Structure 1
């Protein structure tokens, strides 16, 4: 094919934006761009097994690298499959750009094969930017604006490329009316807070005696500043689920993750603080915030529209978290505060979490399965977490070494993200080990398919360690608990039972390695094998679905009764015994 095409311009623009990897799946609607990728030799193309997984990989890439994730798909079903991953990006505020093929413009409106109104399809998920390219001259500008919109709004942007436009000759942009030149450049800058807002925040914080910091992913680059302010204020530190990797949970005043899947220490802190500083968090678990009016609040966030979304704050500080905290530090008075009470409750939680993990179960307590990773997780590892009951055990039992990132689909909470995220992490830094925590539900939904991708790619990795832990309880456990907890109904076997799969055997068929673990004493050695293996390794750990997913007390105590009703209706004596044992441990652990 003679001459450069618009498809080549697309690839050149990706390179100009620093894109080194595109995730996707092929199809006739996007073939010209695939041809341009082949001719250029870069960016690299990563073929997923399904467009949804490719979109998750793009989201994972954005989360682990801090850059823009790029995904590519064809029209029709390929475009529809992208939606779940793009909503994950939207709801967790990460920049992703999707390039989607479309039928030629000459057939649009004819109910042509695979013709879908893509602008309407992506209207909500890419409300910040979505555009169909109608001419060669328009293509560079649309691509540039898509990247800038994704970065500025930290959300997905969609570029729709009709097949005929992809095949047009590359434009020679003239300096004339109707032609808009643009450039592939963008700078985030540093958003400095207003001085008066900082003084108002300092005054409010100085008036409090029981201070708590709620830290979210917006504090990603502000870990030293968070710690310095907490030390000076004598404050407790609680994290959102997305903020967990950005606080050193070994600190004596780090109370852990908040919310339904959080810690008892975080529940106590949020229920008893009189002053709350929210830093870069938009956590939706509003029932676990202090009761409105019980605590005065300040919120720091780069996104002005996020401030006051979850709690009635008095002072809004619109600015970069690190810069705002550094400027705020001299304005607050040093005090011991309620540090002794906080540390007592943190100590109580740590004893409780250990006691829970060591509670006998049939066959293995999933809390122990995750806890055994502590002390074994390499300091340069990256962690990916799927969605389901495994998130509870990650939030409560895994202590991340400082600097180890961990990501999951948090706000959308979409099962099946674990393996795609793990692959994105590994491809971004092949020299670092990766650990994936998944349930059997998430593994069956997408993970088994993407194990094929792992089998295809792993030999090129600098470090082959890719440990996939499957908490295999033959149950869609989180929903089973929700049926009992929120509906006071017994578990519905037809909807909740999962088939038993030989995951480690399947891994070996793909040239990987693995082991099934069915005894408590074998869990630690299995982790050792996985983290020392010369190839990706699957730990198929048979866990007990009856281990309770109790929210922190006192909320947990109020829900235990409805759970008991569900177990009684099921005739599940074992689960009832474990629930009562967990309630007993929780009550005895209260300081």
Structure 2
């Protein structure tokens, strides 16, 4: 048969290096789906359970590979479903291409079934949105969409009416006025600031006696350079959540995460530093950075609009993290090892000891911290972690030690529930030979994770390594919101909004043809992890944990303390909350290092 527009779409995307598309079918994209079937060897299609999951998977693909992630949805409701996952990509500056169907061109404007103004719908989330009208446009629309996604690290959307998809392809538009002739390919530039700006930054860092670094997702490809600058300046390194894998946690002067989910050493370092170097981070919570004027600042970011946004920096360097740090290194004077790094190492040593002590405290039936503490020491080499949003994020951020060579990410700027499972699936497709651990709360699992276990069941035999372990924190509570209500709103737990239905996630996994392990005994946690990581197929680890173990922040304000005390009046689980809080606070009795 003659090559159709649908055939040409996948052929052209293949020339751009796209090797997979996540989506769900519908009659608005029948021409594209038929073409995908014909191109299935070169362009595999991953059928998800809901279009939102396709967009999350495309976003995760971009995060785990650096490539453009591609998702596909039908017209009307299918296209609408993509939005949450696409906003996740936008919030975290990920390159994604969404391809959506539309009703036939002759029907548009006539209030036709499933007719939605898709250009307007996607106008906020996408940097580039275009609806095709004729086959001659397809080549340049794909080329420009991919170049915008790659070059600007933003979202692009192509809207293809269903009748257009079946027309004969036009690979080379006529050489005539009013046509566009585009090409394939993009080479990312190496952006380095001017020498004068680098010298100014070096002068600030050389003058500092107590240098602190904060690294984010933009530093994920600059591990060697970050460590070299830290050694030269004798800095400690704190990590924004999206940058958790940027440097390993087994270094004594890496203080771990920062913010409400962060560590006490990160808090102390930011309060006592006299110089701050931010690298590739848009960390949003300025209250966890030094007080304005307390520290001199240097920031490196490829996006100039993110510079000096969270803290008034003295020197702002627009450039790629690795290249800019390499250019900065020869200008730095090596500082002698001194008291500052020693203090940071002492804080960090005490903190890890405190976390272990807290993890081993009694709870009913299982302390959630211990689940993560036991995982941390068992993580396989080159493991990939896909974390969700919720109370699980607290324990992931604090208790899981990442080693060099591991990857980890989550929905950062959007902090969307329900992203963990699609992220994990995308990680397995992107890196089928590597072990993957999904960290999911029971709220997110009930929201959409259980459905995506069916996707795992369908595809796992295609993966070179079947290791995919899904940790479900089964606490029967929308736990993050419960604690936010207590500590921020001063409200007791509202059972009607917070309590989740009882459910066996392990049993559901077995029904789906996977393995399920239910654990309600703290002494079985380690053995359960060992069993799951040795399985010959994906596993759901269903840990029944205590919802009333408090995720204590690194610094408790007077306002938070008052709100918490106020919430205890009318708290339906008062005894458990107070007992667990007392155990966690009592664990703080450790030798102080200064």
Instruction: Give the TM-score normalised by structure 1.
Output: 0.98
In the alignment, is residue 125 of structure 1 matched against residue 125 of structure 2? Answer: yes
2:148 is matched with 149
Q: Partner of 1:67 in structure 2?
A: 67
1:565 paired residue number: 566
- Partners of 1:425 and 1:315 in 2: CA distance: 37
Q: Equivalences for 1:229-308 in 2 at 5 Å? A: 229-308=229-308
Contact 1:349/1:589 (<8 A) preserved:
no
What is the rounded CA distance, in whole Å, between the counterparts of 2:588 and 2:83 in structure 1? 41
Shift of 1:353: 1.0
CA displacement at 1:587 relative to structure 2: 6.2
In structure 2, distance between residues paired with 1:285 and 1:355 = 28
Secondary structure of 2:136's partner? coil
Output the CA distance in 1 between the equivalents of 2:329 and 2:355: 33
Is the CA contact 1:530–1:539 (under 8 Å) kept in the aligned structure 2? Answer: yes
Query: Does residue 17 of the first structure (1) align with residue 19 of the second (2)?
Result: no
CA distance in 1, matches of 2:110, 2:69: 33
The residue aligned with 1:167 is: 166
Bigger mean CA deviation after superposition, 333-342 or 310-319: 333-342
Q: Tell me how far 1:460 sits from its aligned partner.
A: 2.0
CA contact (8 A) 1:490 1:569 kept: yes
Indicate whether 1:441 and 2:440 are aligned.
Answer: no
> Equivalent of 1:387, from 386, 389, 410?
389
**Equivalent residues of 1:212, 1:269 under 8 A apart:** yes
Kept after mapping to 1: 8 A contact 2:350/2:590: no
1:429-488 Cα distance to aligned partner (Å, 9 max, x none): 211111111100111111000000111111222211111110100000000011111110
Could you tell me how far apart the structure 2 residues matched to 1:569 and 1:581 are? 21
Q: Distance in 1 between matches of 2:402 and 2:347?
A: 20
- Deviations for 1:241-268, whole angstroms, at most 9, x for unmatched residues? 0011011111110011001100111111
Instruction: Tell me which of 346, 367, 370 is aligned to 2:369.
Output: 367
Q: Distance in 2 between matches of 1:549 and 1:123?
A: 38
Post-superposition shift, 1:515? 1.1
Instruction: State the distance in 1 between where 2:268 and 2:5 align.
Output: 58
CA distance in 2, matches of 1:125, 1:287: 28
Check conservation: 1:382, 1:406, Cα contact below 8 A: yes
**Structure-2 residue corresponding to 1:4:** 3
Mapped to 1, the partners of 2:461 and 2:26 lie a distance apart of 27
Q: Which residue of 2 aligns with 1:334?
A: 334
Does residue 1:498 correspond to 2:500, yes or no? Answer: yes
Distance 1:567 1:50 in 2: 40
- 1:352-386 C-alpha deviation (Å, 9 max, x unpaired): 11111111111111110011012211102211111
Query: Considering only aligned residues, what root-mean-square deviation do their CA atoms show, in Å?
Result: 1.2
Deviation of residue 327 (structure 1)?
1.5
Deviation at 1:119, TM superposition (A): 0.7
Report the Cα distance in structure 1 between the residues aligned to 2:306 and 2:566, rounded to whole angstroms: 39
1:58 matched to which residue of 2? 58
Please list every run of at least 4 consecutive aligned residues from structure 1 whose deviation after the TM superposition is greater than 4 angstroms: 587-590
Distance 2:551 2:139 in 1: 50
Q: Secondary structure at the match of 1:175?
A: coil
Distance in 2 (CA, whole Å) between partners of 1:545 and 1:492 is: 13
Q: Which residue of 2 aligns with 1:105?
A: 105
Question: SS of the counterpart of 2:262?
Answer: coil
Q: CA deviation at 1:585?
A: 2.9
**2: CA distance, partners of 1:429 / 1:242:** 19
Q: For each residue in 1:69-113, what CA deviation from the matched residue of structure 2 results, as whole angstroms up to 9, or x when unmatched?
A: 000000110011000000000001110000000001111111110
Distance 2:551 2:591 in 1: 17
Q: How does 1:161-560 map to 2 (within 5 A)?
A: 161-171=160-170, 172-335=172-335, 336-337=337-338, 338-555=340-557, 559-560=560-561
* Cα separation, 2, equivalents of 1:270 and 1:111: 57
1:589: Cα distance to partner? 6.0
Shift of 1:569: 2.2
The match for 1:47 is 47
SS of the residue 1:339 aligns to: helix
Decide whether the 8 Å contact of 1:365 with 1:544 is kept in 2: yes
Instruction: Kindly state the Cα deviation for residue 57 of structure 1 after the two structures are TM-superposed.
Output: 0.8
Question: Number of paired residues?
Answer: 588
Counterpart contact for 2:382–2:407, Cα < 8 Å:
no
> Any stretches of 5+ residues in structure 2 without a counterpart?
none
Q: Which moved more, 1:466-475 or 1:332-341?
A: 332-341
